């Protein structure tokens, strides 16, 4: 009988330790924008793959509007958030002391989608076009303004139409000649419509990426100055965890897609796709363990895309394709690094849009690269 | 104007199917300028009788005639007054009385002129801008009376017009009614459950039986006119009320 | 004006303390607003809540003056007001017509009830994006959103109002040989007016919701847009100015209906003495 009790006591002790080990992890929420989407795969991989746990965090995710994310981080109600660089500049101009510590999107994700048969070889050719845009705000508007500026044009030279986030439908109805889109997502949907013959006469969609013309600072991780100065170690840990999760997604998109399934309700996978992805994921894991170069890994991603396209329909693969497209916007030699020029370019754009009263924002205070794990020049 | 009831009967559709007889068959005549009171136990179809004569409810069998003409709907020369003054709360006294004229399409100035002439007879001249909610029950009933008179009808149908008033007010109003009748000399059919009121006012009192109401007594009131409140204590009056009461009480068994 | 005979004149209210307490009671709603403003000022003065979240009243006042001076506020307020008025006109107009038809034809109610109840119990915010893609991102979709949201109180109150017409007064109108139009003009309309005006009061406060929800969904102009735009520029004082402007517009329209009530329902006021 006594032995029985000892066993129980021992078991209880074990459970207590296990719970204590869990408690050791620090509960922390990261504020994201938009809605759960495969484009947030690095966060899902960070949670599911234990990358956040490795650096001591038990992360939960919340989705809000960008200004809300920024303000909540600014006042310290949340420690970490993801916003675009332009928000950091605008908010700093209004007294929010937030600092951008990791550039997640190395390339600005906005571009102009148009009918491939239209000749837009020179940006000058944009003159007079009816261009759809969600509204005169946010990254789309900044992207367009930058494009127009590099073409030497102004907003008055084009017929700008606010169409909400309905670019594929509105474009394919023929209401606009071109639409400002997120290059990793909408062009794919538009191409699908075009391939099905549901996009008027349009057969082929082409995209002018803003990033091809100007380097603008894009989405990244922010903290407020109090945290940065008060507990730099905590910031460093989060950056490290996120960087590793991001690298894992870049290295193994199939595994990232599988990890995202749990977090994104709208993500689709039937049994056969699941099996193929699982096989591809474990194969890729072995491959990545051999430390191939960045180019070899990029090649393996394209290989995966081709293999999937041979076996599955476009509809089923849309979100996987979005993930693969988005990875191209993330992948870089030096993950997380942002340079002053891209901030300068963004500030100029904002000033051109009339959003900044003066250019008094001191940009070097807006961001820092000190937490970037890789080699920093 | 003369009113005639010929084997008039009214039945309502019962909720459970079939029909529920409410009145008659009943026949009687009312001579021109005669004042007839109809009394009877509650639910004997008195109000139904008024509604048929007013053209608001159809006869099931038989007919009601006005000067030999079949009553099939509301007639302009027949005015009705209900127990409830039934005034429009959003209209002033002036406009409530003027309503029939307004509906007939008379211009504002003309109808106000007519009504203002009538107001002193109703003792309402100081209240022409008052709203119904500001009036006492007796005053409201006088407004209703005014609204009936202003149409210049030849027949007044009065459905327990003083039923909701206190004894003193109804007595005063009864006298006023008689005074007005003298002036306008109308044919009047009035339903009441008050036997003395009936005898005091009427030339004839008609007693109806329990549902479906049928004529059980037709009593001539030979009291001289004009009548005054002293009569309420005279022998002839008391004997008549006793006769009416007796014919109602016979119904009891 | 004649005095109602039922009203007695009391003279104890001439005593000073009674007069003071009456005055205090009359002013208490204004005092409540002032207290709220003081609380706000105190909170931001002591910075109990970060100025980022709750800007000081002074900043909001400056934002108000600035937006007033450069015409931004007037421009957007006018757009929203216009959407609201057209929406009210459309929604209330259709609500009155459909409500009257339903009140008169019970069969119609039986047929339409599921659709109407279904529509009414669906939050407008949920299907506002649909209205925007159906009616375009211009003012039309906001007018429609407003019309939809103000339609229901009007509809319900019209039905209640018309059904509530006294059957005895209907008898009276019949005995006076009043036709359909005269019955409507002299009986149904005035009788239903108090209920319909009460519905209109609700509608005016809802109208601003309709317009602003529409403006949130598709941007362009209007106070809803100003909120989003100011929010995206981290100009919280301007957000508050825009929101308070909505409140003001809404209150003004409400006041306008109350004024109409005051003017046309004299009898009700007198009846409540």
Is B39 part of any domain?
yes
Place of tokens 């960087």: A243
φ, ψ (nearest 5 deg) of residue B79: -110, 145
Give the domain range for residue C26: 1-54
Taking the C-alpha atoms of residue C237 and residue C51, their distance in angstroms, rounded to an integer, is 10
Kindly report the nearest CA distance between residue C207 and chain A, in angstroms. 23
Taking the C-alpha atoms of residue A248 and residue A239, their distance in angstroms, rounded to an integer, is 14
Place of tokens 């000058």: A124
Give the domain range for residue B218: 1-73+200-253
The whole-number average pLDDT for the span B177-204 is 81
Is the ipTM here above 0.85?
Answer: no
Is B147 part of any domain?
no
Q: Which of C215, C210, C214 is nearest to C226 (CA)?
A: C215
Confidence class of residue A56 from pLDDT cuts 50, 70 and 90?
very high
Is B68 part of any domain?
yes
Please determine whether the domains at A22-107+218-330 and A110-212 fall in the same fold group of CATH.
yes
Q: What per-residue confidence (pLDDT) applies to C219? A: 64
CATH code of B69's domain: 3.40.50.300
Q: Are residues A373 and A248 in contact, defined by beta-carbon separation less than 8 angstroms?
A: no
Please return the burial class of C273, using the count of CB atoms within 10 Å of its CB with bins 0-12, 13-18 and 19+: exposed
Is B104 part of any domain?
no
Q: Using one digit for the tens of pLDDT, what is the confidence trace for A111-162? A: 999 999 998 888 889 999 999 998 887 889 999 999 999 889 988 999 998 8
Taking the C-alpha atoms of residue C256 and residue C262, their distance in angstroms, rounded to an integer, is 10
Q: Using one digit for the tens of pLDDT, what is the confidence trace for B128-158? A: 888 888 888 888 888 988 888 888 888 888 8
Q: Are residues B38 and B46 in contact, defined by beta-carbon separation less than 8 angstroms?
A: yes
CATH code of C207's domain: 1.10.3720.10
Q: How many CB atoms lie within 10 A of CB A368?
A: 17
**In what helix (H) or strand (E) does residue B218 lie, and over which residues does it extend?**
strand B215-220
- CB–CB contacts below 8 A, A to C: 55
Q: Are residues B142 and B173 in contact, defined by beta-carbon separation less than 8 angstroms?
A: yes
Q: What per-residue confidence (pLDDT) applies to C238? A: 93
- Chain C residue set in contact with A, beta carbons under 8 Å: 50-53, 129, 132-133, 137, 217-220, 228-229, 231-236
DSSP A179: E
Q: Are residues B148 and B181 in contact, defined by beta-carbon separation less than 8 angstroms?
A: no
What is the number of structural domains in chain C? 2
A166/C52 Cβ within 8 A: no
Place of tokens 């001591």: A56
What chain B residue is nearest to C273 in terms of C-alpha separation? B134
Taking the C-alpha atoms of residue A131 and residue A182, their distance in angstroms, rounded to an integer, is 14
**Could you say which residues from 60 to 89 on chain A have a Cβ atom under 8 Å away from some Cβ of chain C?**
65-67, 70-71, 74-75, 87
Q: Using one digit for the tens of pLDDT, what is the confidence trace for B62-107? A: 877 778 777 887 887 888 888 788 889 889 898 999 898 898 888 8
C134 and C7 housed in the same domain: no
C97 and C224 housed in the same domain: yes
- CATH H-level superfamily of A22-107+218-330: Periplasmic binding protein-like II (3.40.190.10)
* Average pLDDT for chain A: 89
- Is the peptide bond between B212 and the residue preceding it cis, with omega within 30 degrees of 0? yes
Q: How far is CA B192 from CA A140, A267, B42, B79, B205, in A?
A: 84, 81, 10, 17, 10
Instruction: Give the residue, A278 or C106, on which the prediction is more confident.
Output: A278
Domain spanning A110-212, CATH architecture: 3-Layer(aba) Sandwich (3.40)
What is the number of structural domains in chain B? 1
Any residues with CB less than 8 A from the CB of B140 and at least 6 apart, and which? B85, B87, B132
| Domain positions in chain A | 22-107+218-330, 110-212
Taking the C-alpha atoms of residue A289 and residue A293, their distance in angstroms, rounded to an integer, is 11
E strand segments, chain A = 26-32, 57-63, 80-84, 98-103, 110-115, 130-133, 159-162, 178-182, 205-209, 219-224
- Substitution target from C51, C228, C233 for chain A, most A beta carbons within 10 A: C233
Q: How far is CA B75 from CA B28, B69, B151, B154, C184, in A?
A: 20, 10, 11, 10, 20
């Amino acid at each position: 009988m006594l032995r029985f009790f000892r066993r129980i006591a021992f078991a209880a002790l074990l459970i207590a330790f296990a719970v204590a080990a869990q408690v050791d992890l620090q509960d922390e929420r990261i504020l994201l924008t938009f809605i759960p989407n495969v484009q947030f795969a690095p966060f899902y991989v960070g949670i599911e793959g234990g990358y956040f746990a490795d650096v001591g965090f038990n992360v939960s995710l919340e989705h809000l509007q960008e200004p809300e994310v920024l303000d909540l981080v600014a006042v310290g109600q949340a420690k970490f958030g993801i916003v675009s660089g332009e928000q950091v500049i605008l908010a700093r101009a209004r007294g929010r002391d937030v600092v951008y510590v990791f550039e997640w999107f190395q390339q600005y994700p906005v571009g102009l989608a148009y009918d491939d048969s239209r000749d837009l070889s020179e940006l000058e050719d944009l003159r007079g076009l009816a261009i759809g845009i969600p509204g005169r705000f946010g990254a789309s508007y900044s992207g367009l303004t930058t494009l127009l500026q590099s073409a030497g044009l102004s907003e008055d030279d084009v017929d700008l139409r606010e169409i909400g986030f309905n670019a594929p439908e509105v474009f394919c109805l023929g209401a606009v000649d071109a639409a400002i889109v997120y290059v990793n997502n909408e062009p794919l949907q538009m191409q699908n419509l075009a391939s099905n013959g549901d996009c008027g006469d349009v057969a082929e969609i082409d995209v002018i990426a803003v990033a091809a013309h100007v380097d603008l600072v894009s989405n990244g991780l922010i903290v407020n100055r109090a945290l940065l100065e008060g507990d730099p170690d905590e910031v460093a840990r989060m950056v490290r965890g996120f960087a590793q999760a991001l690298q894992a997604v870049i290295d193994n998109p199939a595994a990232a897609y599988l990890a995202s399934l749990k977090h994104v309700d709208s993500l689709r996978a039937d049994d056969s796709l699941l099996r193929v992805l699982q096989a591809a994921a474990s194969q890729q894991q072995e491959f990545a363990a051999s430390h191939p170069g960045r180019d070899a890994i990029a090649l393996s991603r394209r290989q995966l895309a081709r293999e999937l396209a041979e076996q599955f329909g476009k509809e089923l693969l849309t979100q996987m394709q979005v993930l693969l497209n988005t990875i191209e916007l993330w992948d870089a030699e030096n993950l997380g690094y942002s340079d002053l020029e891209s901030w300068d370019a963004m500030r100029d754009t904002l000033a051109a849009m009339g959003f900044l009263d003066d250019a008094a924002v001191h940009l070097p205070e807006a961001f820092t690269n000190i937490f970037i794990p890789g080699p920093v020049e | 104007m003369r009113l005639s009831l010929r084997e008039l009967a009214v039945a309502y559709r019962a909720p459970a199917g079939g029909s529920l007889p409410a009145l008659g068959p009943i026949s009687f005549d009312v001579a021109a300028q005669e004042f007839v009171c109809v009394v009877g136990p509650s639910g004997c179809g008195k109000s139904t009788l008024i509604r048929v004569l007013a053209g608001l409810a159809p006869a099931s069998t038989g007919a009601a005639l006005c000067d030999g003409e079949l009553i099939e709907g509301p007639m302009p020369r027949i005015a009705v007054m209900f127990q409830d003054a039934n005034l429009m709360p959003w209209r002033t006294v002036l406009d409530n009385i003027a309503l029939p004229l307004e509906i007939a399409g008379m211009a504002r100035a003309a109808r106000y002129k007519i009504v203002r002439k009538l107001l002193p007879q109703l003792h309402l001249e100081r209240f022409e801008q008052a709203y119904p909610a500001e009036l006492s029950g007796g005053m409201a009933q006088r407004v209703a009376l005014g609204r009936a008179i202003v149409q210049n009808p030849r027949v007044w149908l009065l459905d327990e017009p003083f039923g909701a008033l206190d004894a003193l007010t109804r007595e005063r109003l009864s006298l006023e009614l008689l005074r007005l009748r003298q002036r306008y000399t109308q044919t009047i059919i009035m339903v009441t459950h008050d036997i003395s009121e009936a005898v005091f006012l009427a030339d004839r009192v008609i007693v109806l039986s329990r549902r479906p109401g049928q004529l059980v007594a037709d009593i001539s009131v030979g009291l001289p006119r004009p009548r005054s409140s002293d009569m309420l204590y005279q022998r002839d009056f008391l004997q008549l009320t006793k006769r009416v009461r007796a014919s109602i009480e016979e119904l009891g068994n | 004006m004649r005095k109602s005979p039922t009203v007695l004149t009391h003279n104890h209210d001439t005593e000073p303390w009674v007069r003071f307490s009456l005055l205090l009671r009359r002013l208490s709603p204004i005092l409540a607003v002032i207290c709220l403003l003081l609380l706000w000022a105190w909170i931001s003065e002591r910075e109990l809540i970060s100025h980022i979240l709750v800007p000081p009243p002074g900043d909001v006042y400056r934002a108000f003056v600035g937006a007033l001076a450069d015409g931004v506020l007037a421009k957007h307020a006018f757009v929203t007001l216009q959407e609201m008025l057209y929406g009210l006109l459309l929604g209330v107009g259709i609500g009155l017509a459909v409500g009257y038809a339903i009140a008169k034809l019970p069969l119609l109610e039986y047929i339409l009830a599921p659709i109407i109840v279904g529509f009414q119990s669906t939050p407008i915010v949920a299907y506002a994006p649909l209205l925007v893609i159906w009616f375009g991102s211009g003012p039309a979709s906001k007018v429609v959103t407003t019309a939809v949201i103000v339609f229901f109180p009007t509809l319900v109150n019209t039905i209640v109002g018309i059904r509530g017409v006294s059957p005895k007064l209907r008898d009276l109108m019949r005995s006076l040989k009043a036709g359909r139009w005269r019955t409507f003009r002299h009986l149904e309309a005035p009788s239903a007016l108090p209920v319909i005006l009460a519905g209109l009061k609700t509608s005016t406060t809802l109208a601003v919701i309709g317009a602003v929800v529409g403006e949130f969904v598709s941007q362009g102009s209007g106070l809803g847009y100003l909120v989003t735009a100011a929010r995206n520029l981290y100009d919280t004082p301007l957000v508050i100015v825009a929101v308070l402007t909505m409140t003001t517009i809404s209150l003004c329209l409400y006041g306008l209906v109350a004024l109409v009530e005051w003017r046309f329902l004299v009898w009700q006021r007198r009846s409540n003495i």
